[in-house]
A = this chain, B = another copy of it.
Amino acid sequence: MLKIDAGSAVPVYEQLKRQIRLGIVSDRYPSDHRMPSIRELASQLKINPNTIAKVYRQLEGEGFLMSKSGSGFFVKLEREHMGKTRRRLLAEIADEFISQAVELGFTPEELIKTLSAKLERISANDPA
């Protein structure tokens, strides 16, 4: 389910964090779900266990996971906070997109137009 692109510029640990966060807010990993053990996930993805440990610790710091020593990491996010969390994540990536576009000198109208066009193509299953 989790996948790593070794050639990517984005660090392995960041790729993992994003995917796990996504799994949680999309309810694929429900609350109290037990995450795969560090060693298990490390051997499956063929990456260093230290990297997995780092990811779990950071997600714990962000409030997505909770560690129970001796028995593993568990999903913590409560149902009622999911919507808020999703919106916060969306706001973050939207801000990033806007700031880059503004940097390139695009107007708000151009952004909306380009985005709408792309989304329509996707809805129509025509990813040209």
Which A residues are within 8 Å of any B CB, using their own CB?
A: 6-7, 11, 18, 22, 25-26, 61, 66, 68-69, 76, 86, 89-91, 93-98, 100-106, 108, 110-112, 114-116, 118-120, 122-123
Contacts and interface: CB of A to CB of B under 8 A. Distances in A.
29 contacts: A6-B66, A7-B68, A11-B69, A22-B103, A22-B104, A25-B105, A26-B104, A86-B105, A86-B106, A90-B101, A90-B104, A90-B106, A90-B111, A91-B114, A93-B97, A93-B100, A94-B97, A96-B97, A98-B115, A98-B122, A102-B122, A108-B119, A108-B122, A111-B115, A111-B119, A112-B112, A112-B116, A112-B119, A115-B115
How many copies of this chain sit in the oligomeric assembly?
Answer: 4
Nearest to A109: B119
A89 B68 contact: no
A39 B114 CA distance: 40
- Of the listed residues A89, A94, A95, A118, the one surrounded by the most CB atoms of chain B closer than 10 A to its CB is A94
A124 B93 CA distance: 21
B112 A94 contact: no
Contacts of A108: 119-120, 122-123
